[in-house]
Chains A and B, each alone.
Chain A
Amino acid sequence: MIPFDLAQPQSLAEAIKLLDPDDPTVRPFAGGTALMLMMKAGLFRPKLLVSLGRIEKKYSEIAADKSGLRIGAMTTLSALEQSPDAKKLTPVISRTLRTLSNVRVRNVATVGGALAHGDPHMDLPPVLIALGATLTVAGPRGERTLAVEDLFTGYYETVLAKNELITEVRVPAQDGKRASYMKVTAGSADDWPALGVAVALQAEGATVKSARVVASAATTKATRLKSAEAVLAGQVVDHRLLARAGEAAAAEADILSDVRGSAAYKREILRIYVGRAVRAAIEGRMH
Chain B
Amino acid sequence: MPRKPMLDIERMRSAEEALRREARRLLADGVVSVFLGHEEGWDGLAVPSFATSPEDAEKLVWNPLVAPHLAKYLLDRLAGDEKVGIVVNGCGSLALERILKDRRFPRERLYIVGIPCTGILDPARVADLPPERRREVLETGRAEAGLFLDRCSWCDVPNAVVSDILVGEPVAEEPTVHEYPRAARLEAMSLEERFEHFKDLYERCIRCFACRNVCPACSCRECCLDQWEPLWLGRATSVPEQQMFHFIRAFDVAGRCIRCGECERVCPMGLPLMDFNDKLLKDIAELFGVERPHVPTDVEPLGRFDPQDPDFEEGAE
Are both chains from one complex?
A: no
| Interface residues of B, Cβ cutoff 8 Å to A | none
| Interface residues of A, Cβ cutoff 8 Å to B | none
